[in-house]
Structure 1
Amino acid sequence: MDSERISVSLPSFIHRVGREQANLTRDLASELGCELKRVRRSRNWQLLGEYHQIHALSLALRSLDSLKHKFTIGKLNTVLAQIEPPLTIEQQLAKLLETNPNITLAEMMEVTSCTLSEARTARFENDTL
């Protein structure tokens, strides 16, 4: 399953949190693999990252000082609540076997891009239930 980059809009970011907190958030985001940047020459900012990176950033900002980062945490949580977390390969295989128990190993591998051993393990676990 390909990871999709999520975009979080942060309007008037510097005006709401201040330059110091914006720089701290930008540094923390880059450490976690996200990208925080201005949208062209406007006062609006944008955070780009994958689901798990943005979730980790939200948790890190909460642990620092949730009052100073209230605006940013609120925006991140709003976007994360709208998006379903990506399923692991094991979860995808279990769901696939639940909907279609007669699926072949080759079809399972094609749909989920898993290995043969992962498909066999999922089939075995499904048959033992």
Structure 2
Amino acid sequence: MNEDITIALPSLIHRIGGDTAKEAKAIAVQCHCELKRVRRSRNWGITGDAINIQSFAAHLTTHQQISKKLNKKGYGEFHYLINKIETGLLGHADKLETLEEKLVRLITQTPSITLSELVLVTHCTEAEARVARFEAEGW
């Protein structure tokens, strides 16, 4: 769950421009992600925790909306980047929620799930599964 993922961004500079890529790289660092070129090719990739990459996409969306309100030139410049990240995150939906959220969701979806099944599915400890069971039941 805490492992880094990489989302490919082919021909990023050609699609959004060099200055925009530098700006996106700075925002990525703030979100604890790494936006960089793949070796010496024209392809780029973003690497980081799935939740941090989702946060990066949200920051880009907010930045784009602010630029649009201020009528800045090129306010749609992050559109390609946001779409590629959102598409790439669809394959990593299981990593976008915390362990506690996942446990509570599983318990509410299937109330008859046992503690050992929760441990097996989520790779959590038995104590974490018990705490989630108590929270989901409203104790």
Normalised by the size of structure 1, how large is the TM-score?
Answer: 0.76
Deviation at 1:50, TM superposition (A): 1.1
Aligned residues: 123
Contact 1:92 1:112 (8 Å CA) reproduced: no
Q: Kindly provide the CA deviation profile for residues 84-109 of structure 1, in whole angstroms up to 9, marking residues without a partner as x.
A: 143433334342683533x37xx85x
Q: Which residue number corresponds to residue 113 of structure 2?
A: 100
Q: 1:67 aligns with which of 65, 68, 76?
A: 76
Deviation at 1:56, TM superposition (A): 1.0
After TM superposition, the structure 1 = structure 2 runs for residues 23-102 of structure 1, keeping only pairs within 5 Å, are 23-65=22-64, 67-86=76-95, 87-94=97-104, 95=106, 98-101=111-114
2:114 is the alignment partner of 1:112: no
Give the counterpart letter for 1:98 in structure 2.
Answer: P
Deviation at 1:126, TM superposition (A): 5.2
Q: Which residue number corresponds to residue 134 of structure 2?
A: 124
Aligned sequence identity (%)? 33
Deviation at 1:33, TM superposition (A): 0.4
Contact 1:10 1:45 (8 Å CA) reproduced: yes
Give the counterpart letter for 2:99 in structure 1.
Answer: I
- Ranges in structure 1 where 5+ consecutive residues have no aligned partner: none
Give the counterpart letter for 1:81 in structure 2.
Answer: L
Give the counterpart letter for 2:134 in structure 1.
Answer: F
In structure 2, relative to structure 1, the CA distance for the partners of 1:112 and 1:14 (3 Å cut) is same
- Ranges in structure 2 where 5+ consecutive residues have no aligned partner: 65-74
